[in-house]
Each structure stands twice: as C-alpha cells, then as structure tokens.
C-alpha cells in the first residue's frame, strides 16, 4: 500500500497545518481521532455547567473539528454517538417529544461521555458539558434563547409550516429541519485561553490517548511493520463531507468478506489506527485543497514534502493563472511566445522549491457504488520528472483557444461582465472529453475519458488515436454545433492532432513552406470561406457560407467538393470586384503549391487539414488590410 505510506509521510511533513481551518472553510488537516461536521448551533457554558447563551452559526463559520470513534466516524444507519459534539438526536434528552423523526440516542451519548469523564484523560470542559446535559434542559434553553422555535404543542416548527418568508427564523437559513441541528460547545473557564472545544489541542490529545487506551487489539501493521493498535474500521468522507464510500471496507465477521481464505478478518489487512487516521486525513485535506473532483471521480496530485506543485488536470489558462490576474492585466492577450516564457518561468520556480528526487504522487479515485471507493489511477514520480512531463504536455499539446473567459468591471456602468480571453496552450482533460463526445457525453463516459487522458499527461503516453479521430470528425461536422461550441471543438482538435503527430513539429502560425496535401486543402477552404464572408458582410447578409456548409463533405472528398465551392465563389468575386485580387492570387498560389497528383486525390483528409484551415484563417484575421486586400 505505497499510496497509504505516501499519504502518511505527507501528514507527518505537513504537521504544522494540523487543525487549521482556512477562510474558505475547506477541510482542514485533521488531528488523529477527529472528524469534521457543519455545526448549526453554538452553546456557551461556564465551568460549572451553567447555560450562558447560544447562537445560530453562520455557514462560513460552520466547519467544526470534533472527536470521533471509528464507529461514529463511519456511521451510516447505526447509532454511534460522537464523544462530544453531535446532533440533537444524540444530545437532547427529549428528542422524540419535540418531534424528532429518528431513533433517539441520548442514553448512548451520555454513557460514552460519562466513561470519558471517569477516565484518567478527563477534562474540565467535558465534565461541565456532562453536568449541563444531565439537567435535561437543552431544548428549553435553546428555545428561551431564540435559537430553536416551537409550536404550542411543544413540537419543533417545520420550515414548510411558516406562512411567509418574512416569518422565517435564523435557524432556517442554515438548515430546513430544526431536529437535524448539529451542536458544538464553548466552555468558559477562568484562565483558559481556548474556550472553544473544537480548537483545544489539549482536548484533542486527551481524546486520542483515552481512545487508544480503551482499545486492546494490537498487531503488526502492514504499513509500518510495527506492533501497534490496529484499526477496526477506516474513515469515510474522503471526497466531500457527505461521502460515505470507503477505500478500505471494514471486515464483516458474519458475511463472506474473508471466509474461505483467512481465519480472521485481521489476516486480510492489518493497518494501525494512527496510520489509517493520518493517511485518510491527509487524503481528505489534499482533495479539498488541490484536488479535481467531478461527480464520483477525484484526482489529486501532491508532493510528499508538502510544497505546492502544478495540477495535471488544469489547462494552460488555469495553470498560469490567467483568470486570477489583476483587473488591468486580465483582459491582456498573451502571444504564444509570451505563454511559453511564462510556462518556463513557472516550471523553473517549482524546481527551485522542490528537491529533484522529492516524490510526487498522482492518485485517482472513483466509485461504482455508494459504499465502495476504488483507486483507479496511481503513479509515483520524482519531482523533476513530473515537472518535465507537465511542461512537455503544455508545450506540445498546444494551440490557440478562445473558449475561456475572465471577469472585468465595465468602466461606464461599473458592472461586472465576462469577456472571452484567447490563450495558447493545452486544453483540460474535461474539455477534451466534452468536444470528443458532445451531446452523447454522460458522466460515466466523461470519467472514463479523463482516466484515459491522465496517463498522457503524467506518464507521457501517446494520445489515444480514437480521441483524436472523434474530435476531428466532430470539428468537420460544423453545422451540428453552435458557433462557440464549434470554435472550441476546432481548437482542441488541432491541439490533439499536433500532440498525436508530434514528430511533424507543426507550428501554431501559418507555415507557407509546408506543401503537404491536407495542409494545403485546409488553407484553400479558409481562403474560400473568408472571401465569401467578406462579400456577404459587404451586402449585409447573415448566413452560412458554402465553405461552412460543405466542410464535412470537403473533408471526405476534397477535390470534387472544391470544384463546387470554387464555382460558387464566382458571383462573390464579381461583387467584390478588384478588391479581392490579392486574395484570389493567394488562392492560386496555394493551388500551385500542390503536387498534381495530390490535388487530384479525392481521398479523405486527415486532421492536418484542420491545422491548415485554422492557421490560414488566423493569418487573414491578423492581416492589417483584412477588409481591403486589393493590390496597390
């Protein structure tokens, strides 16, 4: 289980981050024996267990670190109370009387808290909480404080029963059913600088020692090879707070999980409690902080040393932070050369912070069922190799794209607007899946496609031929898409073909010296289209050109289709008169560049045709005399 060893190392190397909750409320790196939940109500007590006040917690402050046992941390249908902070179902002695629909578990919660208080690892805070809860006044106090709201019959009000939005209560801003509220505690003790139980590191340590002391089973861990307290269950909540799937499922003594192969479940897999807690805590933290999550699929990349590294799931736009630039620079368009320089500088910066042999891990997770999580991709590389492959991907699978946008403030109105920002570089795996399959793409197919692309980025494997072919066929089927979707498909198809034919060393600018049949036919189509567009715009007509309508047929039968397109251009040439002489001469030069047999060859064109088309079109758009290219 090298993936777990690497996660354990990462946890140890990033120990300074343990327990820190960031401003964006993402999952923190959890201490051993702790989990998180989103608290809704905060109750403040004094050292004697007297109720002082309570409040509803804002969503941005809700994430709370709480102690948990193995059973409570992975609970689904079983009644397993958390040791300290939990739901009203566990904490309220009169839960059923106030309208709670779930099975009450107050007795189990109190018994668990009493056992902790009776141990050598007790604490004044938990003793105050126990003393207060034994008064059985929790819901009454919360009602008097205006936190919970009751009907005349003593039942909790439901949100649906409110007559209007204006009559709503603060508690309904954070949840819809009051009975589902999560409670956290603050205990004010003279001289104690950390009254919040979820921030008290001393309390974290006491819980872990108490829990380990109560566990008797020891054995040899498969991870460290040492005799340690073994884990009975392994954590869930890996991809998000509601994730019930586990990578390592608990052993079932009554089913057939291991029978027929082993005499006991521990012979199947034996992992230390602290080791699995630290490894899973690191994985949750990494996914929340820098992971790519799309439905059930998650990819995360990290250096075990804890230094920042680029994400292989990013396109060049995100990798270089084009969308995060200052207002003035956000609308600036960078050339291919500018992008190459920035990419080189960024990679150089990462090399300076990372040791050349520092391990980098790329881990992919997916689930076929709600309870099972599989490792679908695992690759471990030296830091220098990883950076080399990231740089190679973004420089060799590159083309000019125009489908990303940035936010900016309009000077006249002061309103925030979006503007498309062209960029040069590689597309993201998710965007490749989008253009390869179009409307046929469901989430299962998207996940499968991303899994196939990741080895191309991380391991330097070739792009799958079928993906290159799929994007090409969709790009030439122009009329089946909206203009913006076709432009995106076209640019990504060009990028993939360049990567697939990397030995050809194609350039993103027009190459007049390239005389290959497919490239020249692409140039011809772009010239014909531009001439017809010019004539239509001049006449105020808004319709598709013949070149656009016949693009798919042209890709399959270029010579015979070109004769039809050329004949259709005659009236447009007449309409433009002498203004189009220069463009007509350019078309003649392209035709003259063909080998005679190549020009007459009516066989299907390859993806190189799109490169010639796109490069010629960009060259015409960038020309200073695009609206009048008559010869002077």
In this prediction, residues 106-134 reach a mean pLDDT of 96
Look-up of token digits 């009644």: 79
Q: Which two three-digit tokens encode residue 81?
A: 């109370």
Say whether pLDDT at 256 is over 60: no
Predicted structure pTM score: 0.88
Residue 408: predicted pLDDT: 76
Residue 626: predicted pLDDT: 47
Stated as kind and residue range, the H or E segment containing 386 is helix 383-396
In this prediction, residues 367-393 reach a mean pLDDT of 92
For the chain, how big is the Rg over CA atoms in Å? 32
DSSP-derived secondary structure for 493-519: HHHHHHHHTGGG---SS--TT---HHH
In this prediction, residues 394-406 reach a mean pLDDT of 94
Residue 182: predicted pLDDT: 96
In the DSSP assignment, the letter for residue 257 is S
Distance CA 583, CA 628 (A): 10
User: Which residues lie below 8 Å from residue 113, measured CB to CB, with a gap of 6+?
Assistant: 83, 84, 126, 129, 130, 133
Residue 329: predicted pLDDT: 58
Q: Which of 610, 576, 574, 612 is nearest to 593 (CA)?
A: 612
In this prediction, residues 16-37 reach a mean pLDDT of 88
Strands 183-188, 41-46: pairing is parallel
What are the sequence ranges of the domains in the chain? 31-214, 291-504, 517-622
In this prediction, residues 494-502 reach a mean pLDDT of 96
Query: Do residues 274 and 228 lie in contact, with contact meaning Cβ atoms separated by under 8 Å?
Result: yes
Residue 252: predicted pLDDT: 57
User: Which residues lie below 8 Å from residue 57, measured CB to CB, with a gap of 6+?
Assistant: 39, 40, 41, 42, 174, 184
Q: What is the pLDDT of residues 518-545, one digit of tens each?
A: 999 999 999 999 999 999 988 888 889 9
Let me know how long the chain is.
632
Least confident among 76-80, 359-363, 426-430, 626-630? 626-630
In this prediction, residues 466-476 reach a mean pLDDT of 97
Distance CA 604, CA 554 (A): 8
Higher pLDDT, 200 or 259: 200
Residue 420: pLDDT band (50, 70, 90) is confident
Residue 631: pLDDT band (50, 70, 90) is very low
Residue 22: predicted pLDDT: 78
Say whether pLDDT at 628 is over 60: no
Calculate the alpha carbon distances from 516 to 291, 409, 513 in Å.
43, 46, 9
Residue 258: pLDDT band (50, 70, 90) is low
Residue 630: predicted pLDDT: 45
Q: Rounded to an integer, what is the distance from CA 287 to the centroid of its chain?
A: 8
User: Which residues lie below 8 Å from residue 44, measured CB to CB, with a gap of 6+?
Assistant: 51, 52, 53, 54, 186, 187, 188, 195
Average pLDDT, the chain: 90
Q: Which of 82, 84, 63 is nearest to 73 (CA)?
A: 82
Say whether pLDDT at 266 is over 80: no
Residue 53: pLDDT band (50, 70, 90) is very high
Query: How many CA atoms lie within 13 Å of 123's alpha carbon, on the beta-carbon side?
Result: 23
Query: Do residues 365 and 374 lie in contact, with contact meaning Cβ atoms separated by under 8 Å?
Result: yes
In this prediction, residues 155-173 reach a mean pLDDT of 79
Distance CA 448, CA 52 (A): 55
């Amino acid at each position: 289980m090298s993936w777990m060893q690497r996660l354990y190392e990462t946890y140890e190397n990033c120990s300074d981050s343990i327990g820190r909750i960031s401003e964006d409320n993402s999952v923190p790196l959890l201490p051993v024996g702790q989990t998180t939940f989103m608290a809704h109500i905060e109750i403040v007590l004094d050292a004697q267990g007297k109720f002082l006040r309570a409040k509803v917690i804002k969503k941005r402050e809700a994430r709370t670190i709480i102690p948990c046992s193995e059973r409570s941390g992975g609970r689904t249908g079983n009644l397993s109370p958390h040791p300290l902070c939990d739901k009203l179902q566990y904490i309220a002695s009169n839960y059923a009387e106030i309208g709670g629909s779930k099975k009450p578990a107050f007795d189990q919660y109190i018994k668990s808290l009493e056992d902790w208080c009776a141990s050598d690892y007790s604490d004044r805070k938990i003793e105050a909480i126990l003393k207060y809860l034994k008064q059985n006044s929790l819901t009454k106090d919360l009602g008097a404080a205006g936190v919970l709201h009751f009907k005349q019959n003593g039942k909790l009000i439901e949100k649906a029963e409110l007559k209007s939005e204006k009559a709503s209560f603060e508690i309904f801003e954070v949840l819809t059913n009051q009975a589902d509220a999560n409670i956290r505690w603050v205990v004010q003790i003279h001289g104690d600088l950390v009254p919040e139980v979820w921030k008290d590191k001393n309390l974290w340590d006491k819980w872990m020692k108490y829990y380990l002391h109560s566990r008797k089973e020891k054995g040899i861990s498969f991870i460290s090879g040492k005799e340690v307290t073994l884990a009975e269950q392994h954590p869930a909540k890996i991809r998000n707070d509601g994730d019930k799937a586990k990578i390592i499922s608990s052993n079932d003594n009554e089913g057939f999980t291991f029978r027929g192969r082993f005499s006991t479940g521990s012979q199947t897999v034996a992992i230390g409690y602290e080791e699995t807690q630290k490894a899973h805590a690191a994985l949750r933290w990494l996914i929340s902080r820098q992971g790519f999550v799309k439905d059930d699929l998650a990819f995360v990349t990290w250096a075990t040393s804890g230094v920042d590294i680029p994400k292989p799931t990013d396109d060049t736009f995100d990798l270089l932070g084009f969308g995060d630039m200052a207002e003035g620079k956000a609308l600036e368009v960078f050339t291919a050369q500018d992008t190459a320089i920035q990419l080189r500088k960024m990679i150089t910066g990462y090399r300076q912070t990372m040791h050349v042999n520092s391990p980098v891990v790329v881990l992919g997770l997916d689930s076929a069922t709600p309870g099972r999580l599989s490792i679908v991709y695992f690759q471990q590389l030296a830091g220098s190799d990883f950076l080399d492959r990231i740089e190679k991907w973004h420089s060799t699978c590159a083309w000019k794209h125009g489908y990303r946008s940035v936010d900016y403030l309009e000077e006249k109105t002061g309103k925030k607007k979006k503007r498309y920002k062209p960029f040069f570089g590689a597309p993201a795996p998710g965007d490749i899946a989008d253009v390869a399959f179009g409307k046929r793409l469901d989430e299962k197919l998207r996940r499968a496609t991303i899994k196939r692309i990741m080895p191309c980025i991380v391991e330097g494997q070739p792009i799958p031929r079928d993906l290159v072919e799929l994007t090409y066929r969709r790009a030439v089927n122009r009329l089946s898409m909206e203009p913006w979707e076709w432009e995106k498909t076209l640019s990504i198809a060009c990028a993939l073909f360049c990567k697939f034919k990397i030995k050809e060393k194609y350039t993103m600018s027009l190459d007049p010296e390239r005389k290959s049949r497919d490239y020249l036919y692409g140039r011809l189509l772009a010239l014909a289209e531009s001439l017809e567009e010019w004539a239509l715009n001049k006449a105020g007509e808004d319709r598709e050109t013949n070149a656009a309508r016949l693009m798919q047929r042209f890709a399959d039968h270029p010579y015979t289709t070109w004769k039809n397109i050329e004949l259709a251009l005659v009236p447009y040439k007449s309409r433009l008169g002498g203004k189009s002489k220069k463009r007509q001469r350019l078309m003649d030069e392209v035709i003259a560049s063909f080998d005679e047999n190549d020009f007459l060859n009516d066989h299907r064109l390859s993806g190189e045709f799109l490169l010639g088309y796109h490069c010629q079109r960009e060259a015409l758009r960038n020309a200073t005399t695009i609206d009048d290219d008559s010869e002077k």
